Amino acid sequence: MRRTALLLTLALVSPAAAQEPPRVPTRDYAATYAMTGFGTEAPKTMQMSFSAATKRQRIDMAEAGQNVSMIMELGGPSMWVLQHESRMAIELSGGAMGDRDVPISPIEEDATLTRVGTDRVAGLACTVYRVVRQGKPQGTACVTEHGIMLRGEFEEDGERGKMEATRVSLDRQTAERFEVPPGYKTMQMPAVPSGQRPRR
């Protein structure tokens, strides 16, 4: 789960210098990504959309043959997992997340980003950054001037993974896309016991 979260939210890279991209995207977008590596036998497709007005991000993908969506309140207290076949919405908030807000970035606070070049992905220009933490290279990310990640190549626990945008729309996203759909049954996850941290 932590590997998936790392790749799915690369658009939210924590800045280490003024030349680096915005911490949170500054405009709406919707993108389709191809994901390879990290133990997967075949490429996976994932859709990501973002609302700059509400700072909410939505991720749509298939997990274990099921269509699943995640709606996250970046920097806020809530996240919802939508299971579309069963029309179920699982809410994670407050104690269910160990009294922690949804992280703005999957990159650790002490990680640094260094600009190493430029490129074009899915027809859009982006800047390539090298990510290093505690002296160890973690990979690269190609990010637009608006903070939208178009390509990321990362290594974790000796395994490599890559995600690359194949299609990007900069159109305004509707508010309804970042809400639990009508008719879905909502269930709240129980609080995490004191002293335990939720898995990422």
Q: Which of 29, 38, 16 is nearest to 155 (CA)?
A: 38
Q: Could you read off the pLDDT of 85-140 as tens digits, one per residue?
A: 999 999 987 544 444 554 444 445 677 888 999 999 999 999 999 888 788 888 89
pLDDT band at 14 (very low <50, low <70, confident <90, very high): very low
* Domain 2-188 CATH assignment equals 3.40.640.10: no
Residue 197: what pLDDT?
44
Whole-number Å distance between alpha carbons of 119 and 109? 26
Phi/psi class of residue 53: alpha, beta or left (left: φ > 0; alpha: ψ in -120 to 50)?
alpha
Q: Where are the domains of the chain?
A: 2-188
pTM of this structure: 0.78
